[in-house]
């Protein structure tokens, strides 16, 4: 029996086959080609500008995965996720600059990788603190609670206290050679790109596997109907807090990664608008799908870059356009969300699912 295509007569014979990631030879070749393009093709053909755009996409994907988990999979609305990215970024930065690491770790280039793990744990724990109200409130009231995380964490604690450590004022400078993974110093966009790919692959793989587990099924049950989930014996409070921890954990990884792309870090890198932006990415990409976080990130970053490229030639004639580009960007963001909610409310992931089904079921795609 052929093992290339599934829809026209091939059937799974056991549970392992039914839940395999890459269930056919065709899919395995397709995913191998995708990995080859990401790890080999893009670095060969893209210039430094587009490599930096790819890094921005990867950062957005890492940030959006946590939001997707909370909103799309667990039904917990959040509008303060940038706070947990900030916690991860500042924890990693302080560990690198201030912590007295053993010489063997610094010599082997392990200080930064270890700081990423610790930053993720701290960000996840901090996220749980602001997830505690989810045990009692939901909807609009939970939105206000998560917004409080942004204002308390970034605008108060980080700006007024953490940023003052060492007498630095508002910004922490990251001298060249500070970010190091093993023997490799992460000192250019291409090296940041490869590190981004590794982190995205690891986080996406972990989240997908988690959603296929008992924990993931519990989250989806809570999203669909938390009262029914509790009746079935699911500890709703426990799994809600676990969702906040995992979302904050991934957000901490995103923040710790992003410092490798910065010469200095300050609270201005984590505004409240970035939390709103990540929610918009999920709405455009599609809630309840890891593909949605990826497609939404690619769409938003690329569209905004193309918009900027379109505005720049007009700057000589209309210089005010360049000065007001931030407002143009925000207006385009709002229009994109409105357009998708009206014409494609299920997001890009749903459209991708339809396209895949059309080809998989051909010639019976009707």
- Residue 22, CB-side half-sphere exposure with 13 Å CA sphere: 10
Tallying the residues shown for the chain, one arrives at: 366
Amino acid 3: pLDDT? 52
Q: Residue 350 in 3-state DSSP?
A: helix
pLDDT tens for each residue of 271-295? 999 999 999 999 999 999 999 999 9
> Confidence band (pLDDT; 50, 70, 90) for 169?
low
pLDDT tens for each residue of 327-340? 888 888 999 999 99
d(CA 332, CA 328): 6
Amino acid 21: pLDDT? 76
Give the percent of the chain with pLDDT over 70: 94
Among the listed residues 87, 63, 8, the one whose alpha carbon sits nearest the alpha carbon of residue 278:
63
> Confidence band (pLDDT; 50, 70, 90) for 326?
confident
Please give the residue range of the domain that contains residue 245.
Answer: 46-272
pTM, entire model: 0.91
| 312 found inside a domain | no
| 18 found inside a domain | no
User: Which residues touch 88 (CB under 8 Å, ≥6 apart)?
Assistant: 119, 120, 122, 123, 251, 252, 253, 254, 255, 256
d(CA 126, CA 227): 27
Mean pLDDT of 60-72: 96
Task: Render 27-86 in DSSP notation, one character per residue.
Answer: HHHHHHHHHHIIIIIHHHH--HHHHHHHHHHHHHHHHHHHHIIIIIIT----S-THHHHH
Among the listed residues 199, 187, 349, the one whose alpha carbon sits nearest the alpha carbon of residue 260:
187
Give 66: exposed, middle or buried? Use CB within 10 Å, 0-12, 13-18, 19+: buried
| 229 found inside a domain | yes
Predicted confidence (pLDDT) at residue 230 exceeds the cutoff of 70: yes
Give the least confident one: 49-63, 158-172, 286-300, 347-361. Answer: 158-172
Amino acid 1: pLDDT? 47
d(CA 10, CA 17): 11
162 versus 240: the higher-pLDDT residue is 240
| 110 found inside a domain | yes
pLDDT tens for each residue of 18-49? 777 777 777 888 889 999 999 999 999 989 99
| 181 found inside a domain | yes
pLDDT tens for each residue of 94-136? 999 888 888 888 888 899 999 999 999 999 999 999 999 988 8
| 330 found inside a domain | no
Mean pLDDT of 338-345: 92
The count of structural domains within the chain is 1
| 313 found inside a domain | no
Q: At what angle do helices 189-211 and 48-67 cross, to 10 degrees?
A: 30
> Confidence band (pLDDT; 50, 70, 90) for 319?
confident
Query: How high is the mean pLDDT of the chain?
Result: 88
DSSP letter at 155 equals I
| 154 found inside a domain | yes
């Amino acid at each position: 029996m052929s093992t290339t295509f599934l829809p026209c007569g091939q059937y799974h014979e056991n549970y392992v086959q039914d839940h395999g990631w890459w269930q056919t030879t065709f899919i395995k070749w397709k995913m191998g080609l995708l990995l080859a393009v990401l790890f080999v093709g893009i670095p060969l053909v893209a210039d430094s500008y587009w490599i930096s755009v790819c890094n921005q996409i990867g950062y957005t994907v890492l940030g959006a995965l946590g939001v997707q988990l909370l909103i799309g999979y667990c039904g917990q609305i959040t509008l303060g996720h940038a706070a947990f990215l900030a916690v991860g970024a500042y924890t990693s930065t302080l560990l690198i600059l201030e912590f007295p690491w053993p010489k063997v770790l610094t010599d082997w280039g392990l200080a930064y990788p270890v700081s990423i793990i610790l930053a993720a744990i701290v960000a996840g724990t901090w996220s749980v603190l602001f997830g505690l109200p989810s045990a009692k409130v939901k909807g609009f009231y939970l939105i206000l609670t998560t917004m409080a995380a942004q204002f308390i964490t970034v605008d108060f604690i980080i700006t007024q206290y953490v940023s003052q450590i060492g007498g630095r004022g508002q910004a922490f400078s990251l001298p060249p050679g500070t970010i190091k993974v093993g023997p490799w110093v992460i000192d250019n966009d291409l090296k940041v790109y490869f590190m981004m790919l590794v982190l995205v692959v690891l986080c996406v793989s972990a989240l997908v596997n988690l959603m296929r587990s008992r924990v993931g099924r519990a989250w989806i049950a809570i999203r669909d109907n938390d009262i029914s989930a509790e009746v079935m014996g699911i500890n709703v409070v426990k799994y809600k807090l676990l969702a906040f921890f995992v979302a904050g954990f991934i957000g901490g990884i995103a923040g710790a990664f992003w410092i490798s792309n910065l010469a200095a870090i300050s609270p201005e890198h984590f505004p409240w608008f970035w939390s709103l932006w990540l929610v918009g990415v999920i709405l455009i990409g599609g809630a309840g799908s890891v593909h949605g976080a990826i497609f939404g990130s690619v769409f938003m970053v690329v569209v905004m870059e193309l918009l900027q490229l379109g505005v720049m030639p007009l700057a000589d004639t209309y210089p005010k356009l360049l000065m007001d580009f931030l407002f143009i960007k925000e207006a385009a963001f709002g229009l994109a969300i409105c357009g998708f909610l009206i014409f494609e409310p299920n997001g890009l992931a749903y459209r991708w699912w339809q396209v895949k089904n059309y080809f998989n079921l051909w010639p019976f795609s009707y």
